[in-house]
Amino acid sequence: MSDRAQLTDFIKTQALGLGFDLAGIATLGPAQTADEFENWLSFGYAGEMTYLERGAEKRRDTRLPFPGVSSAVVVALNYDGTAPDGPIARYARGDDYHDVMLDKLASLHRAIESHLGREVRGKAYVDTGPILERDLARKAGLGWFGKNTNLINPGIGSYFFIGSLLLDLDLEPDAPFETDRCGSCTRCLDACPTSALIAPRVLDATRCISYLTIESRSAIPLELRESLGNLVYGCDICQEVCPWNVSFSRELAAPELAPREDFIAPDLAEMLLDDEDGFRERFRNSPMTRAKRRGLARNIAVAMGNRGDSADIPALTRSSTDDPDSMVREHASWALEKLQGLAVIR
C-alpha cells in the first residue's frame, strides 16, 4: 500500500473512530452542481435567504478557500430517523449540530497533524459556508441526491448531517456515487403538504415548511398556514415517507445529539409566552435559536390554531394582545379566530 493510500485509510479510520457514520474522500475542483444552484437562485426559490448568493467563486471551485487545498474529507453523522415524529424536527431536538460536528472535525484535524508530525492546513465546513457540501458528499461516494433534494445513502438513509474538512493533502479519492436509486418512487413529492417539491430534486424553499418556520423572517402566507399542521420548527415529512429511511434509518449513536426531553413533546403554550430572556435560556446551545423568539412564537401560534385545542385559547389570547412583536400578535389572532370558529361549529 502506498503512503498516499495509507494516509487516506488512516484518516477514514480516525473519522469513523470519532463517531462519524460515513467518511469519504473527494478531490477538490469545479463543483458539478454550481450552474444548477445558480439557476435555482435565479428563479427566486431561495426566498429571503440572500446569504446564499455570497461566495459564488468558492461555490464554483472548492480549491479557493485557501492556497494549496486539494482534498476534502467528507463525513456524515446520523441524528436518529427512528425517533417518533413531533412538532420539532428530529435534527433540532438536541444540542446544536454545528458545534458537535465542528468539534469532531477539529479532533480529526489534530489527529492528522499528530500522525504526520507536522502542521496541516485545513478548514472545516458544516453548512455555514459557500461550499456545496452535498455536491462534495456525492463526489466522495456518500450517496445520491434524492427526489426530495436530500443526500441519501443506501446503508443509513438520509437522516444525517454532512460536514467536510478541506486539507492541503493529496489523498486517494473515492469513486463518486453515480447511481440514482430513487427509481420511479415519488412518495416525497406526493407527501409534501405545501407542494414545495415542484419537480424531482427541485425545491421551492418559499413553500417549504422548514424554510417557513426557520429561515423566513416574514409572516407565514395565509394560504400555507393550515398546511403547517402542528409543526413549529422544521419538517421531516419528505424523509419520513422515503423507503430508504423506512428500511435503513439508524438509532442515535452520538450522545452529544441526544434529544432534550422538553423538545420531544414540548409545552407549546409555555414556549409561546417566553420573553426574550426565557427564549435564550430555554434554547441555549440549541439550533432552534436560528428562528429567533419572534419566529418561533409565530410558528407556535399557527400550530396551536391548527391543532384545535381549546386549552390553547388563554395563551393565544394573551399573546394576541400582549406580545411585543406585531407579527406574533397577528399570528396569535389568526389562531384564536380559527379556534373560536371551531368552537362555534361544535
pLDDT tens by residue, 153-205: 999 999 999 999 999 999 999 999 999 999 999 999 999 999 999 999 999 99
Does 322 participate in catalysis according to the annotation?
no
Please tell me which residue in 61, 127, 274, 325 is annotated as part of the active site: 127
Residue 126 in domain: yes
Cell of 279: 427564549
Please state the domain count of the chain. 2
Mean pLDDT for the chain? 96
pLDDT digits (tens, 9 = 90+) for 3-37: 999 999 999 999 999 999 999 999 999 999 999 99
* Confidence grade of residue 343 (pLDDT, cut at 50, 70, 90): low
In a domain, residue 176? The reply is no
Last residue within a domain, chosen from 115, 140, 167: 167
SS3 270: helix
Question: Final residue of a domain: which of 167, 183, 200?
Answer: 167
Q: Which residues contact 3 (CB under 8 A, 6 or more apart)?
A: none
Angle between helices 313-322 and 292-307 (to 10 degrees): 140
| Domain match, 21 and 140 both | yes
Please tell me the pTM assigned to this model: 0.95
Residue 241, in any domain of the structure: no
Query: Which structural domain, as residue segments, surrounds residue 341?
Result: 267-346
- Three cell numbers, residue 343: 368552537
Is 212 contained in some domain?
no
Residue 345 has pLDDT above 70, yes or no: no
In a domain, 7, yes or no: yes
Identify whether 300 is part of a domain. Answer: yes
